[in-house]
Amino acid sequence: MIRAQHSLQSYNTFGIDARARWFSEIETPDALQALLKQHPDRPLFVLGGGSNLLLTRDLDQWVLHNRISGKSIVREEANNVVVRIGGGENWHETVLWSLQQGYGGLENLSLIPGTAGAAPIQNIGAYGVELSEVFERLEAIDLQTGERLEFTAEEAAFGYRDSLFKRALKGKIFITHIHLKLTRQKHACNTSYGALKNTLEEWGIHAPAPADISRAVIHIRQSKLPDPAELGNSGSFFKNPVIDKVQFESLRQQYPQVPGYPMSDAQVKVPAGWLIEQAGWKGKRVGSVGTYPKQALVLVNYGGAKGEAVWALARQIMADVKQQFSIDLQPEVNVL
């Protein structure tokens, strides 16, 4: 079914009221192929959970909302299992399901908003783990030809919040299923992230199971990130910039407290939240938009904001950070 002039307000976690010229929910790969055949020339836009999207205008396109469901086991090995997840499945419910099955690998990625199909596009990551570490392959449909395609982890060319699907294939494919390789036993628990380690220590957990890590991650996220159901937001609005070591050292001369994570011998990742806070933007509100008081990297809609207002705030923050630190912030969310 194709709906016209459909409001997208409940389909983006910023809660922006923009409209789609046409809108369809896609429940199976076959249904998508049939629709593409019937209407070959319409400009398309693929929408997952809308959790990484800022709409600054109505979409003069045909919005395809991924509702493909299903969680199944493809293959079991001695220590591993490969699961196949429908692209429209809610990400956090997928994580909880995997833990209920006793599988490890997704626990650090608990409570990330969005869908399974969107997860590979920006290679979601949190608390020391990125999707690329468990990703095996994905199934997709070419939006131009209607053909079924597959991509391996290698072909996906994952990077920090980056992949082939965000670059050369942007807007060109519809991800129908993802395949993830999880552990059945001998779980490789990652507690390297400071806040995670501290929380587990406070709870007196010394040999955490995946479910413990998930609980700790949920606790940390709830204590510093706003729930999109209560306050419109899109998680981290910017990527953490990677700068060269020389620039980092001179920054440290001026700001001895600056946090930095070495990426290589020559490069250091600096938390954008720290830069934004230093630039004086933490917790500031401008009309119906602002930065979240507990995490400056998260821009929020206090209610009724237009996408343009969020984008104007983002640009102001980028200009101030550039002026103070000579560092360019790049949006992590997809700004339309």
Residues lying near ligand EPU in the complex (CB under 6 A) are found at: 126-127, 193, 195, 235-236, 239-240, 259, 271, 273-274, 277, 282, 295-297, 332
C-beta closer to ligand EPU: residue 166 or 239: 239
Both structure tokens of 50? 């809308």
Residue 98 CA, chain-centre distance (Å), reads 19
Residue 14 CA, chain-centre distance (Å), reads 13
Q: Locate tokens 């957990």: which residue?
A: 205
* Least Å from the CB of residue 29 to ligand EPU: 28
* Least Å from the CB of residue 240 to ligand EPU: 5
Would you list the DSSP string of 244-312? Answer: EHHHHHHHHHH-TT---EESSSSEEE--HHHHHHHTT-TT-EETTEEEETTEEEEEEE-SS--HHHHHH
CA distance 272 to 88: 30
C-beta closer to ligand EPU: residue 127 or 311: 127
**Is 332 an annotated catalytic residue?**
yes
* Least Å from the CB of residue 274 to ligand EPU: 4
* Least Å from the CB of residue 80 to ligand EPU: 25
CA distance 138 to 87: 9
Q: What is the dihedral of CA 188, 129, 225, 264, to 10 degrees?
A: 140
11 CB burial (10 A radius; 0-12, 13-18, 19+)? buried
**Is 236 an annotated catalytic residue?**
yes
296 CB burial (10 A radius; 0-12, 13-18, 19+)? buried
* Least Å from the CB of residue 185 to ligand EPU: 26
Of the residues 67, 161, 215, 221, only one is catalytic, namely 161
**Is 326 an annotated catalytic residue?**
no
Of the residues 107, 130, 133, 332, only one is catalytic, namely 332
C-beta closer to ligand EPU: residue 76 or 201: 201
254 CB burial (10 A radius; 0-12, 13-18, 19+)? exposed
C-beta closer to ligand EPU: residue 65 or 239: 239
- Measured from the Cβ of residue 157, the count of other Cβ atoms closer than 10 Å reads 16
Annotate 136-155 with b (16+ C-beta within 10 A) or e (fewer).
Answer: bbbbbbebeebeebebebee
CA distance 13 to 123: 19
C-beta closer to ligand EPU: residue 26 or 112: 112
C-beta closer to ligand EPU: residue 91 or 127: 127
Whether 68 and 26 have beta carbons less than 8 Å apart is answered as yes
C-beta closer to ligand EPU: residue 62 or 274: 274
* Least Å from the CB of residue 205 to ligand EPU: 19
* Least Å from the CB of residue 160 to ligand EPU: 7
Catalytic residue list? 161, 236, 332
